[in-house]
Amino acid sequence: MAEGSEQPLDTKWLVGLLKKSFADQKPSVVVNTDVSLASAVGENMLSTVHRVKITMLLKGGRRKSFSLVVKTEIPSEGMGSVMGVLNTFPIECKVYNVILPMMGALMDEFNDKRDTVWSNCLGYQPYTCLVMEDLSFEGYTLIDRTKWQSIEQAQFVLRALARFHAMSKVLLARGLLTGDDRGHNLFLNDTKTFRALFPATLQVLSNAIKTKWGPEWKAVGQKISDNVDLICDKMKAVFSYDKRFEAYNHGDLWSSNIMWKFTEYGDIPVSVKFIDWQFAHINSFILDVVYFLHTSIVPTLRRNNLNLLLETYQEALERNLKFFGWGGYIPSLEDVKSENDRVTIMAFVFVANSLPVTSTGLPELSLDIANLFTLPVEQVINEGIYTEEKYVREVGPDLRAFYDSGVL
């Protein structure tokens, strides 16, 4: 073809094609609606989650199914007295409708084509109901929380977490995240719940160790019992942190709050999404890291590969901070390790309090938190979570190390 002979494209015609395509995809008539529970026992204590599958006739003439997840606050006077002071549902509504969209805009600004690490929210009712896209409908799935994660899976999560933290640091520096977004960390807020829940769980753990683990463990159990108040005070002290390490934390990052998409043939992960943001808060990045490491990974693998896991997080944090044009201080590997050491008391609390609840295979209720202030502690916390064979085998070495090193 001779130079200059090309005809200009008719962009108006192309726009017309797009409009027609979108119009044809527009839902027109509801054909069927099906509602079912979406969360299994032990995976959600604060909310009821339903899956709503809607089949619709599109304007173009074909049928298409949509699936939504509807999360509603559990209407319980007991739960309200325990968790109400933390305002968890308003926090999650703001995260989905304000903070995560700002992160999406940041990704657009830097032409970041990677998957987001969160799901999309379609709307909410203040402040009792959230409607979100159904990730399972997009090929995402939960892994078995009772079996914990492998090192490869943990590295994948840590890289995604580092990207999220890096974006949050940029938003903090721009003033888009402020003190109004500080949120609540159940483990660090000195509330009535804090002062009731953790002493209760530690006493049940102590009694289980002293009476069920064998005579060689009695000193460890007694040490926990003798230092309950000291442990709580040490937890409070963790709230003070170096502002250079400040980030927006998910706050509850464990296996059942992480959804996975794997390759079609095999178990290689290609994407993860974080869900349930009711405990999102501003603090040192290390709280998310340590919580995830001590609730979701096979404990023996975590102990044997701790340096690798911390290196994985730091490398991804540095890479993403540079990608998003961060001009401030970039935490080094030594910083990450130092922060990990600083919050060792939290590592103990997580394996003593969170891990047994989140990974138990017991069919009965492990933690009746709604009755924390009304029932005896032995009826609120199931001692069986501390005597399961896998807990004793996998977490025993952690507790021994905390005892020997003087953390308790």
Q: In the predicted model, is pLDDT for residue 81 greater than 60? A: no
CA atoms within 13 A on the CB side of 301: 15
Identify the domain containing residue 358 by its residue range: 77-404
Q: Has residue 58 been placed in a domain?
A: no
In a domain, 319, yes or no: yes
pLDDT of residue 43: 55
- Judge whether residue 165 has pLDDT over 90: yes
Q: Read off the CATH number of the domain in which 179 is found.
A: 3.90.1200
Residues 197-220 pLDDT 10s = 888 899 999 999 999 999 999 999
Question: What does the pLDDT read at residue 255?
Answer: 94
- Structure confidence at residue 72 (pLDDT): 85
Q: Which of 61-70, 82-91, 288-297 has the highest mean pLDDT?
A: 288-297
Domains of the chain: total:
1
Is residue 366 within 8 Å of residue 357, measured between CB atoms?
yes
- Does residue 120 fall inside a structural domain? yes
pLDDT tens digits, 364-402: 878 877 777 787 877 888 999 999 999 999 999 999 999
Does a structural domain hold residue 130? yes
Question: Does any domain span residue 322?
Answer: yes
Domain for residue 49, yes or no?
no
HSE toward the beta carbon, residue 232, CA cutoff 13 A: 20
* Per-residue pLDDT tens digits for 250-302: 999 999 999 999 998 878 899 999 999 989 999 999 999 999 999 999 999 99
Classify the phi-psi angles of 325: left when phi > 0, otherwise alpha if psi is within -120 to 50, otherwise beta: left
pLDDT of residue 316: 98
Residue, of 293 and 47, whose pLDDT is higher: 293
Give the count of beta carbons closer than 10 Å to the beta carbon of residue 282: 19
Bond into 386 cis (ω within 30): no
- HEC string of the chain equals CCCCCCCCCCHHHHHHHHHHHHHHHCEEEEEEEEEEECCCCCCCCCEEEEEEEEEEEECCCCEEEEEEEEEEECCCHHHHHHHHHHCHHHHHHHHHHHHHHHHHHHHHHCCCCCCCCECCEEEEECCCEEEEECHHHHCCECCCHHHCECHHHHHHHHHHHHHHHHHHHHHHHCCCCCHHHCECCCCCCCCHHHHHHHHHHHHHHHHHHHHHCCHHHHHHHHHHHHCHHHHHHHHHHCCCCCHHHEEEECCCCCHHHEEEEECCCCCCEEEEEECCCCCCEEEECHHHHHHHHHHHECHHHHHHCHHHHHHHHHHHHHHHHHHCCCCCCCCCHHHHHHHHHHCHHHHHHHHHHHHHHHHCCCCCCCECHHHCCCCCHHHHECHHHHCCHHHHHHHHHHHHHHHHCCCC
Quick one: pLDDT at residue 1?
44
N-terminal to C-terminal alpha carbon distance within the chain: 81
- Answer yes or no: is 39 within a domain: no
Per the domain annotation, does 103 fall within a domain? yes
Overall average pLDDT of the 89-116 stretch: 95
pLDDT of the residue at 86: 62
pLDDT the model gives residue 126: 85
pTM: 0.90
